[in-house]
């Protein structure tokens, strides 16, 4: 264990299970892939012993908060939510906040998972920094902590020694990025292969995908069409072509599509193509004409117009912003 990076993960009642076990699994596989103990993971809670998670599965903490002494390489703070009248509300436990505020300054690196960002913010660790959290509580984080620049789009954000991750499964993306920083991308890629996940998720920074941004349609054929659109962005996706594919008149198709999705076929197709363009802008250095072609938008002029309409920015500005995040 000599020379191992010590990772301490905070655990508390009703914590999201994957927030804890996801990063722990990534670090364990990193050990296996590099053939040595590169990481040692400790779970810390109010007291040592069993803690019930939100999934009902109990975790066994190694140490009480007061027993955590010595150097910490990486402090990981997961999250928990309560269900409010308007939806999920991030839980901010004063005991956890106080402990994180006390130990974080001596840790080499601090990372929050999902709504754990609210704990970091309450501990004063995010003031003046850009941070992300689960999209459902991003507005809460921004309202309660105006000194934090909240960006709900990225999968994770790095601001100095503080990292914040987005929705629950983004804990894997975040942990893989930490491993890549420590041990190199080749080793992190080997871990990603073992997990059967992307080292750099397709979709880059964006938490949202167009097919998932609206609820499933009541008609299965509309859901099937939505997936067809996503997988064939370069095809003829005009309303007449889609109506023909559905074996409906154009007028009836447009009415059914709007009823099921809340938008027009043309607007949906453009949103899907813009999402693909965003992925290319975030994750590649392709020139804009290739981005336009690869996303089905066709021309650079159309790419500019679509991004302006959908997200209010230019391709160059979007790339500058998101290629440097994290």
Q: Give me the active site residues, please.
A: 114
295 secondary structure, DSSP code:
T
Q: Helices 250-261 and 265-283, interaxial angle, to 10°?
A: 60
| C-alpha dihedral, 4 to 114 to 203 to 87, nearest 10° | 170
48-78 exposure pattern, b = at least 16 Cβ within 10 A, e = fewer: eeebebbeeeebebbbebeebeeebbbbbbb
Phi, psi dihedral angles at 87 (to 5 degrees): 130, -165
Which residue has tokens 């459902």?
136
Nearest to 50 by CA among 40, 64, 39: 64
């Amino acid at each position: 264990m000599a020379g191992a990076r010590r990772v301490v993960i905070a655990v508390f009642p009703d914590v999201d299970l994957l927030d804890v076990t996801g990063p722990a699994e990534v670090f364990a596989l990193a050990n296996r892939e590099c053939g040595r103990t590169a990481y040692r993971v400790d779970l810390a809670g109010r007291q040592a012993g069993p803690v019930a998670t939100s999934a009902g599965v109990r975790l066994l903490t190694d140490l009480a908060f007061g027993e955590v002494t010595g150097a910490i390489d990486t402090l990981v703070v997961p999250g928990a939510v309560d269900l409010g009248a308007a939806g999920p509300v991030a839980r901010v436990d004063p005991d956890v906040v106080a402990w994180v505020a006390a130990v974080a300054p001596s840790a080499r690196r601090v990372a929050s998972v999902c709504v754990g960002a609210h704990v970091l913010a309450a501990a004063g660790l995010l003031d003046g920094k850009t941070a992300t959290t689960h999209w459902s509580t991003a507005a809460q984080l921004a309202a309660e902590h105006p000194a934090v620049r909240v960006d709900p789009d990225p999968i994770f954000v790095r601001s100095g020694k503080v990292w914040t991750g987005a929705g629950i499964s983004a804990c894997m993306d975040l942990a893989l990025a930490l491993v890549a920083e420590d041990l190199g991308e080749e080793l992190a890629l080997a871990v990603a292969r073992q997990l059967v996940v992307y080292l750099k998720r397709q979709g880059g920074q964006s938490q949202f995908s167009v097919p998932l941004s609206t609820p499933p349609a009541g008609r299965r054929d509309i859901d099937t069409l939505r997936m067809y659109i996503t997988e064939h962005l370069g095809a003829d996706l005009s309303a007449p072509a889609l109506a023909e594919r559905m074996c409906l008149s154009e007028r009836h198709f447009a009415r059914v599509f709007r009823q099921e999705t809340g938008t027009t076929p043309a607007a949906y197709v453009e949103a899907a193509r813009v999402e693909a363009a965003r992925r290319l802008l975030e994750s590649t250095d392709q020139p804009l004409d290739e981005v336009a072609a690869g996303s089905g938008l066709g021309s650079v002029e159309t790419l500019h117009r679509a991004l302006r309409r959908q997200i209010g920015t230019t391709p160059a500005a979007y790339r500058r912003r998101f290629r440097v995040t994290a």
